[in-house]
Amino acid sequence: MVQYNFKKITVVPNGKDFVDIILSRTQRQTPTVVHKGYAISRLRQFYMRKVKYTQQNFHDKLSTIIDEFPRLDDIHPFYGDLLHVLYNKDHYKLALGQINTARNLIGKIAKDYVKLLKYGDSLYRCKCLKVAALGRMCTVLKRVGPSLAYLEQVRQHMARLPSIDPNTRTILICGYPNVGKSSFINKITRADVDVQPYAFTTKSLFVGHTDYKYLRYQVIDTPGILDRPFEDRNIIEMCSITALAHLRAAILFFLDISGSCGYTIAQQAALFHSIKSLFMNKPLIIVCNKTDLQPLDGISEEDMKLVMEMKSEALKTVIGQGGEATSDDSVLLTMSTLTEDGVISVKNAACERLLDQRVEVKMKSKKINDCLNRFHVAIPKPRDQKERPPCIPQAVLEAKAKEAAEKEKRKTEKDLENENGGAGVYSMNLRKHYILANDEWKEDILPEILDGHNVYDFIDPDILQRVEELEREEGIRQAEEENDEFEIDGAELTPEQQAALAEIRKKKSLLIQEHRIKKSNAESRPTVPRKFDKDKQYTSERMGRQLSSLGLDPSLAIQRMRSRSVSRRGRKRDRSPEGADGGDRMDVDGDTPGKKQRLSRSRSRSRSVSRPPHEVVPGEGLKDSAQKIKAIKLAKKSVKKRNKQARRGEADRVIPTLRPKHLFSGKRSTGKTDRR
């Protein structure tokens, strides 16, 4: 079976791009270095190689174009006539002929200049001959630029043509525009042809595929045809005529009996009679469409007469070469693509008639005799009247019955969703597939954990009842407090009692204030300084009285507190050498000590209170002083290099630009020194 795939044709570049491609490839794929000191034979060979390589590239590219485009005389007549209708066969052949002529001219130019290069006597002469050869080749190619552009347009259009196999089982749909052809192919195939309520929506051939009795059929939707002379038909109509003329297919002639397409039944009958010569030797079915608008029985007598005439003409179509008329069962059919009434019956009738016609044609061919000799159909004859039904083992029957029962019982989540309100209402139960020791545990409420504790452990089942009891008890107590509240009247008390009451109220307010201060400051409240201690509450005498009341000796605490309250000047005097030696030393020296003496004193004092570096402090992780001294040395050694380089730390990896190039390079002219 011949397959025509026009999508694999190589892209045809225009003249300028063609030259650029070839010359750049020559430059890349051939040597480019030559010197005048080379031997003359080497120079000739260098430039001859460039000319030959360029000619070979031109030849290969042009040969690819010529070979990949189909030859109209060698392909199927359907494609030959279709290409002639679309692109004009004469222009197509002329363009390919010009490409072929250019290929031959380039080959001749290369041959002539190679001969001349054999007699080149210098580098200059050989180079001039090479330039002239390549220039003439490019000039020849630029002259065929219009032909290359035309072939590129043809290639792009051919790549968009549908892949139609002229030899396979085909159903062809034809008729006036807007009679329902595209709607029918959309119903019976997976094709998506545009359907609009105006004429000539379909402007080219569209292909869909359908199956019937395990065989694949291709269905072709043709553009509408008008009833006019052959010479007046446009390219769109000629595509339909070409398909009708050359494809061996079952023809479905669509008839709009409602008249909604804009053409009467008489006009459609005239078209049928004008193209009936294209229906010879092909199964023909007349399809009355749009019966939902107008049934076939409701048309007028004149229109019915025209329909019957078309039916009689369809009966004259023959299946093969015998000339016998077919039965009128499936010649005239009715359907409606809107309601899909009768669509499948029309498809089945067309496929059945096409299959019968193809089988009969093959049976009448000469090749069938070679095939029939190899076939033998054995029909066994019964030897007695005893019935012998097929024996199926009981285990197989039980397995099949069990499998069928499982299929019936099992319900999917989709079935449960439909039964329980559909999507958005039904919520799938994820617990029913849990694998637990006891199936009753699947629906148990899972405990929630908060701060590591199971919340369910702290929930009282009688919590609501207890809350009600507490609220009731609280209400009773509030009522009692309201009854018991009263204000003490000072008029009923004696003067002593009034004084005691005032003291109690003052004490109570002080306690409340102290509590508020403690609560606000908590443990971080500062000690009250002495200048703010207006009432002299925080004194050593008071502390002594409190400690004595507790049975403790306050003398040590008072002495320690007084030692801490000594002025800074007195403490300095106690620690200074002058204070230790008394006034004798002052008398001996006679004047204040010098700076060096003061520095030595401060250094000795700081040295006396500091710790030597090699002393091990607990917690440093070092074993002894020797190990600590070694660690200090290693630390100093590790930072020595960093300190020399003036690094800030281990992560300082900046490399400064010591001498910026833009300031220290180049010759400065007069007046340019300000850039420093």
Packing angle, helices 89-117 and 40-68, rounded to 10: 170
Residue 164 above 80 pLDDT?
Answer: yes
Residue 654 above 90 pLDDT?
Answer: no
Q: What is the mean pLDDT of residues 610-615?
A: 81
Q: Which of 241, 246, 256 is closest to 184 using CA atoms?
A: 256
Packing angle, helices 89-117 and 145-159, rounded to 10: 130
pLDDT of residue 529: 64
Q: What is the mean pLDDT of residues 40-66?
A: 94
Q: What is the mean pLDDT of residues 389-417?
A: 86
Among 49-63, 108-122, 279-293, 547-561, the range scoring the smallest mean pLDDT is 547-561
pLDDT of residue 170: 92
Residue 675 above 70 pLDDT?
Answer: no
Q: What is the mean pLDDT of residues 579-588?
A: 44
Residue 320 above 50 pLDDT?
Answer: no
DSSP codes, 277-327: GGGTTS-EEEEEE-TTTS-GGGS-HHHHHHHHHHHHHHHT--SSSS-PPPP
pLDDT of residue 609: 54
pLDDT of residue 1: 40
DSSP letter, residue 461: T
Report the sign of the C-alpha dihedral through residues 380, 383, 389, 394, in that order.
negative
- Higher-pLDDT residue of 268 and 572 is 268
pTM score, whole prediction: 0.52
pLDDT of residue 344: 92
The CA distance from 243 to 186, in Å, is: 19
pLDDT of residue 110: 95
Residue 407 above 90 pLDDT?
Answer: no
Q: Which of 99, 100, 77, 101 is closest to 89 using CA atoms?
A: 77
Select the highest-mean-pLDDT range: 180-194, 448-462, 597-611.
180-194
Residue 606 above 60 pLDDT?
Answer: no
Helical ranges in 410-494 per DSSP H: 413-419, 463-484
Q: What is the mean pLDDT of residues 514-522?
A: 73
Residue 126 above 90 pLDDT?
Answer: yes
Q: What is the mean pLDDT of residues 338-354?
A: 90
List CB contacts of 342: < 8 A, sequence separation 6 or more. Answer: 291, 333, 334, 335, 336
pLDDT of residue 444: 81
Residue 350 above 70 pLDDT?
Answer: yes
Q: Kindly provide the b/e burial profile for residues 269-283, where b requires at least 16 CB atoms within 10 angstroms of the residue's own CB.
A: bebbeebbebbeebb
pLDDT of residue 368: 78
pLDDT of residue 579: 45
Residue 162 in contact with residue 247, Cβ under 8 Å?
no
List CB contacts of 79: < 8 A, sequence separation 6 or more. Answer: 4, 70, 166
The CA distance from 455 to 462, in Å, is: 16
For residue 312, what pLDDT band results from cuts at 50, 70 and 90?
confident
Residue 249 in contact with residue 282, Cβ under 8 Å?
yes
For residue 62, what pLDDT band results from cuts at 50, 70 and 90?
very high
Q: What is the largest CA-CA distance in the chain?
A: 162
Q: What is the mean pLDDT of residues 638-644?
A: 88
For residue 583, what pLDDT band results from cuts at 50, 70 and 90?
very low
DSSP codes, 320-359: SSS-PPPPSSSSEEE-BTTTTBSHHHHHHHHHHHHHHHHH
- Higher-pLDDT residue of 669 and 251 is 251
pLDDT digits (tens, 9 = 90+) for 428-442: 888 888 888 888 888
The pair of three-digit structure tokens given for residue 347, joined into one six-digit string: 């498809």
For residue 323, what pLDDT band results from cuts at 50, 70 and 90?
very low
- Higher-pLDDT residue of 379 and 147 is 147
Residue 325 in contact with residue 318, Cβ under 8 Å?
yes
Residue 41 above 80 pLDDT?
Answer: yes
Instruction: Specify the long-range contacts of residues 233-242, CB closer than 8 Å, at least 24 apart.
Output: 235/85, 235/86, 236/200, 236/203, 236/204, 238/85, 239/82, 239/85, 239/86, 239/204, 239/205, 240/174, 240/205, 241/275, 241/278, 242/78, 242/81, 242/82, 242/85
- Share the mean pLDDT of the chain: 82
- Higher-pLDDT residue of 629 and 490 is 629
Give me the percent of the chain exceeding a pLDDT of 90. 27
For residue 613, what pLDDT band results from cuts at 50, 70 and 90?
confident
List CB contacts of 261: < 8 A, sequence separation 6 or more. Answer: 176, 177, 178, 179, 199
Residue 109 above 90 pLDDT?
Answer: yes
pLDDT of residue 587: 43
Is 646 strand, coil or helix?
A: coil
Give me the percent of the chain exceeding a pLDDT of 70. 85
pLDDT of residue 124: 92
Residue 327 above 60 pLDDT?
Answer: no
pLDDT of residue 462: 83
**Cα distances (Å, whole numbers) of residue 533 to 528, 536, 543, 554:** 7, 5, 14, 21
Residue 559 above 50 pLDDT?
Answer: yes
pLDDT of residue 671: 65
